[in-house]
Structure 1
């Protein structure tokens, strides 16, 4: 007999909507048990997350907490006022990981570090080791650079995760005391509070919304709304860098520091969801559209400039100087997921897919032990690496170590960004092997996506005698697809990117989705000067790149791809943990030395005679897997002439 689902959606995700939320969709969850993302999460669970306490110890983060608690002696370690956030992001990652797989060792580390954080907190709730130890207790005097509220935000998010997973309140109590202290100090003119101000790095805003969702305390939501609306009023000098040039409701394009902009917009989406504020919703939709059409790299990466880690002008999308910070990719996923829930539109999950498989996943090595802070789309032959946070070589840890624990927390909570439910059914946003669970149904998925395009879905649990809708996102990159459901076949989605299958389901009913994964050549908008006359190779959700290690006998700077020859696909189980490569025809030109001057008048013959060059077989690997072998050149965009 058909059954009502016995397993409700998990309540432990990073986004849990309030009872009066205006979202179209609600987060569901997925139990991953095989396939691509299961493998990446296993590496995160058994390598990346467990190494966190040791790295935080060696970098001095935990030492600083002991100093603040008065249980150690010595000097503050670290050159930034926000080093506490590395601890908080790791605690959040560990909490989400404990929800997946109990671990006595991991739980012991969480308990030990939670107690250390609690001991470092001051009696009135304030907590920031930099200002407690280095600045002699000075508070909120350097909001542009001090990041005190940014630190509070990550503490709150860690505490919410810990409470949702364990039901315990030790860390939540610490976070609430800090939030209450902030609420007692910050407020608009006329509120009677001493500071009308914002943090130079948004983060506390979305954290406060989640604290409201966890506790039901409306004042946390109101405080988040105050902070969001005070950005852009010159409180920090009016700079775009720290989201202070123009109020969010009036902005027409994303600007300034990419991560700061995206965290602020995630909060705007949260507030629009919880309050129904039409101005914030309109701004979030407008800015998302502007970002994706003019300031997003092919990989989903965001941020054109190294100097201020910021967005450039529209269509300013460089290759070798692309910043594309890993944290910006994570913030993009967080914002787009909130927009997908708020609006129900598939386009937001299209960007999530592109970002997850490319701009985000490149940030961590295949072994889970080394990281990229920046994610360029080209590394030239003979590249001189600056090292440090801007290195194009994978690094064990960073002086500014924001990205590694950020990656850990997203991978540990990834199942909460894959599916949603509503009163009418289940929506599958991302295709993975495992069980999708909503209030109405449990659906089992079997797939080897993204290497193969077949997704077989089996209904395992469903209500009796009640029709509901299974909605499948048809990716924007997909040229052809077919869905078989019973005796019917579908090959056209709705205009909003969803294919909706409504019927009265029974256990054992099957749906087979077949996405065509032919490799393709992609060209950029001609206004993107950096890649005019170039193409990139894509297959399914994956962006591909060339690496020098696969092309001995010369570098990549002189390689030209032949767009008249077909692309071939070759699966390589022996390469980079098992990948599908794309093979293209090309040529490598060996040009003579240009002499003392590489330029010539345009109306004269070119400096070098035209050369066809020697034929070369080009092997493209998934971008997420680059920089896992020897150092060398890399490029995503390939010249055609």
Structure 2
């Protein structure tokens, strides 16, 4: 069994992989930085909050109901177990909640059926038979999140009895899936993709090839109408069951399902050497980014079906942009980055992280957005629980908060790649990075400041390459080594190969003047508007900074100078422009009470 401590995605040595993930402890964020601060908040507030909500909303009692230790009705959706699994995964990546991990692993083991089945809603006989309603039952989806929690345990704490118990539970469920739905078994797929990525990762942990083979079979079956002719609202595209993945030309349907499916397709492609499937995933990425993605990285313009719209159908006030979709897109981008080494995927990870994902969590860490609009109108009534004017502590469908918790707990594992011969730095944050016998201390106030300083504190004396990402929004990047300037950027990277020694200092300057962003001319909903951005941060105009003014009457002068404001109480850097005292980072909106907000501001006629 492979037990080296790595993060959530670890391609095998035989996989198509341009970049290699680092061990989980190779990158450490300084808690005083923005990313490290988010991790600290996650540990101190978000994760304990999620555990509390699992008790309060009955998710754990649902499992106790199966074991006979609770007498009461099932609460929540039929996939409510996944909130337990994702919180468990977050706790395992974090490493700081041993009692919750041990107690939950024991509960899951006790609740599991002898054949390996473990979905409390169906075990308790709430409706019909197991596996009888795959378009909507989320049974494989639930299994997938259980497996991902077990993978976290196997990588983070392989010798811990609770982690070992959890892995045994997950493998029994996965073995049942292989037996029932593998080659020669029932030709079926789950209505909600997710198990595919989990099965590939379980193969990577255990070396048991049937898990990979099942994942490949499930990806290949998608798009052949196996979910039935009467799919949700009569649209097979909702489930991505209308055309095979390798033949699809555009992303469509329920966004979370689509991005989870394509993340799984990349996993399968790299492990099986299927370059055609990998190219299909890249082609669909192009479809998503070219015409179906918001400025914040959010995806999904239709509340109905939580779905992608038509090309360029991107209304800011009706943006669904579900938090889980942003997280799924981040996971998809990471897999494509590992497979191809193309900087564009790291650029999108950064955009998502600082905008579409970060906006979902309140500064307290205990309230969340499910959907993330780019505009809130004056008088918005907030009656739709998925689109309120303020973040909520929990949701009836609570998929997003524990999803955020597991991403933040493992966030450092996405910051860099590398190995014996070098390191590639993708996300800039203060802290340390170690690879190939070299250790680098990173000092920066990014994304508020444009300078990133890297100092070698350990080196081997052998040739070694430091690769730094230059974001696509940045023009005129500058880099120097020990004060000597260099000037070369290729395909979004600066590559510095030399024999390094302790004390060597690299300075990367990424100029980030405020910029006016104009929308694509085909996006009718924001024609005649502009947005403001600086570096990776998208800014917005919020009610608290223009009190007493009717938002729908506000206009932006495109010729007015944009200035930095460093005295704003909410953020280290606000933007100031004529007639507007301040615009704040989009991810910080709605922390000063509910009220109107907009990213795209009408230009003066």
- Shorter-chain TM-score: which interval? over 0.9
- State which of 375, 378, 381 in structure 2 corresponds to 1:381: 378
Q: Per-residue displacement from partner, 1:168-208 (whole Å, max 9, x unpaired)?
A: 311000000000011111135xx1x2x21000000000000
Separation (CA, whole Å) in 2 of partners of 1:198 and 1:461: 50
> How many angstroms does 1:481 deviate by?
1.7
Report matched runs for 1:302-321 at 5 Å.
302-321=299-318
Q: Unpaired runs of 5+ in structure 2?
A: 230-235
Residues 389 and 595, structure 2, Cα contact 8 Å, conserved in 1: no
Give per-residue Cα distances to partners, 1:619-639, cap 9 Å, x unaligned.
Answer: 100000001111110000011
Match of 1:523 among 518, 522, 525: 518
SS in 2 for 1:421: strand
RMSD: 1.4
Aligned equivalent of 1:621, options 577, 581, 584: 584
Matches within 5 A, 1:322-401: 322-401=319-398
Counterpart among 415, 419, 443 of residue 446 in structure 1 = 443
Which residue does 2:248 correspond to in 1?
251
In 1, Cα distance between the equivalents of 2:74 and 2:310? 39
Q: Which residue of 1 aligns with 2:232?
A: none
Is 2:56 the counterpart of 1:62?
A: no
Query: In structure 1, what is the equivalent of residue 497 of structure 2?
Result: 502
Q: What is the aligned partner in structure 2 of residue 96 from structure 1?
A: 93
| TM-score when normalising by structure 1 | 0.90
Aligned match of 1:11: 5
Instruction: Say yes or no: does 1:298 pair with 2:295.
Output: yes
Corresponding residue for 1:537? 532
Q: Is the 8 A contact 1:24 1:422 kept in 2?
A: no
- Aligned residue for 1:22? 16
Are 2:581 and 1:583 aligned? no
Cα separation, 1, equivalents of 2:301 and 2:63: 35
What's the counterpart of residue 216 of structure 1? 207
Q: Give the CA deviation at 1:555.
A: 2.1
Alignment of 1:396-415 (within 5 A): 396-415=393-412
Return the alpha-carbon distance in structure 2 between the equivalents of residues 151 and 320 of structure 1. Answer: 32
What secondary structure does 1:342 align onto?
Answer: helix
Contact kept? 1:389, 1:399, Cα under 8 Å:
no
> TM-score, with normalisation over the residues of structure 2?
0.95
Kept after mapping to 1: 8 A contact 2:263/2:331: yes
The equivalent of 1:475 in structure 2 is 471
Q: Which runs of 5+ in 1 are unaligned?
A: 1-8, 586-615
Residues 231-288 of structure 1, C-alpha deviations (whole Å, 9 max, x = no match): 0000013601111011000011111110000011111111122121111111011111
Shift of 1:440: 4.4
User: For residues 527-547 of structure 1, what are the alpha-carbon distances to aligned partners after superposition, in whole Å with 9 as ceiling and x for unaligned?
Assistant: 111111111000010000011
How far is the alpha carbon of 1:52 from its aligned partner? 1.9
CA drift of 1:151 comes to 0.1
Structure 1 residue 112 corresponds to structure 2 residue 103: yes
Aligned to 2:137, what secondary structure does the other structure show? coil
Q: How many residue pairs end up in the alignment?
A: 588
- 1:264 paired with 2:261, answer yes
Preserved contact between residue 296 and residue 355 of structure 2 (Cα < 8 Å)? yes
CA offset at residue 441 of structure 1?
A: 2.0
Q: Which of 132, 136, 154 is the equivalent residue of 2:123? A: 132
C-alpha distance in structure 2 between counterparts of 1:244 and 1:422, whole Å: 39
SS at match of 2:407: helix
Query: Bigger radius of gyration, 1 or 2?
Result: 1
**Other-structure match for 1:430:** 427
What is the aligned partner in structure 2 of residue 493 from structure 1?
489
| Matches of 2:590 and 2:222, distance apart in 1 | 38
Residue 151 in 1 paired to residue 142 in 2?
yes
Deviation at 1:389, TM superposition (A): 2.6
3-state SS, counterpart of residue 386 of structure 2? helix
Deviation at 1:16, TM superposition (A): 1.6
Aligned partner of 1:550 in structure 2 is: 545
